[in-house]
Amino acid sequence: MFQLRWIVTQQQDGMLVREFLKQQHISKTALTDIKFQGGRIEVNDMPVTVRYVLKAGDEVCVTFPPEQKSAHMVAQPIPLSIVYEDDYVIVINKPPHMATIPSREHPQGTLANALLHHYERQHLQTTVHVVTRLDRDTSGLVLVAKHRHVHHLLSEQQKQGQVKRRYEAVCHGYVTPLVGTIDAPIGRKGESIIEREVRLDGQRAVTHYEVLQQKNEMTHVSIQLETGRTHQIRVHFSYIGHPLVGDDLYGGSRAQIDRQALHSCELTFFHPFLEKTMTFQAPLPHDMARLL
């Protein structure tokens, strides 16, 4: 089971457990789960309710209930390229052609199936909580929380723009200017479930880029997202007339690579338990490196 412990400070003396846990960013949903799904709250090793009044020096321990994976989620022994792992998070360098989570088109063989097998080997009773999802054919760094509460904390960071991701892509043609920003709203295209397009009634979408090199009628770009819309990079570069190489959904050619040439190369986030900013990098995969 997942546990967290704190020592009550002088400033927190006289605080109700409910208010103390709110201060620790434990949500109302998590408190409900703790109460009704087999978790517990203890002060100095004695069970208490959320109405208990704390004193300075008390040790508060919260034990979260065990997590159950969905019935359709199957653990599979698929190799993982683990960049970093601790008790709270895991950072994976996802290969291309692997979906992040199961879907109707790809019910197995996903990153989630591989992670479940990894967790089983560690005897962790948890399920998969992806913080930074990638498209099936996009490679690179994926941040995963090992517990629902950790996912909650990192998702709050993400909403505030504190989880940073840098990408590299290869586009058709020679992109100009060499440093620029694409600021164009993105929405669903017609009745399509998958395809997106730039449209006036779409959600605000901002992409910053810098050209790294240009050769063979292609441009290698470094990209920083200000917003995180579905297919944002792919739609934006198609919109300015430079679709990603291999991205046939948005006008790219697959003559030289069998997927969109897009890679999540850098990930930065503030670790809520180690209390420090962490940055990880992943080099370009072979298929994209060959293009250059």
**Dihedral of alpha carbons 20, 24, 28, 29, sign:** negative
Distance separating alpha carbons of residues 68 and 113, to the nearest angstrom = 14
User: Annotated catalytic, 135?
Assistant: yes
- What is the CATH code for 166-264? 3.30.2350.10
Angle between helices 148-159 and 28-36 (to 10 degrees): 170
Task: State residue 1's pLDDT score.
Answer: 76
What is the helix (H) or strand (E) element at residue 63, kind and residue range? strand 59-63
> What are the extents of the domains in the chain?
3-63, 166-264
For residue range 209-244, what is the model confidence (pLDDT) as tens digits? 999 999 999 999 999 999 889 999 999 999 999 999
For residue range 282-291, what is the model confidence (pLDDT) as tens digits? 999 999 999 9
3-state secondary structure of 244: strand
Q: Which member of 58, 87, 135, 201 is catalytic?
A: 135
Assign a CATH topology to domain 3-63. Answer: 3.10.290
Q: Stretch 1-24: mean pLDDT, rounded?
A: 94
> What values do phi and psi take at 151, rounded to 5?
-60, -40
**Largest Cα span, the chain:** 69
Helix, strand, coil percentages, rounded to 5, for the chain = 20, 30, 50
Q: Which of 28-32, 104-108, 158-162 has the lowest mean pLDDT?
A: 104-108
* Tokens at 62, concatenated: 């919260």
- DSSP-derived letter for residue 231 is T
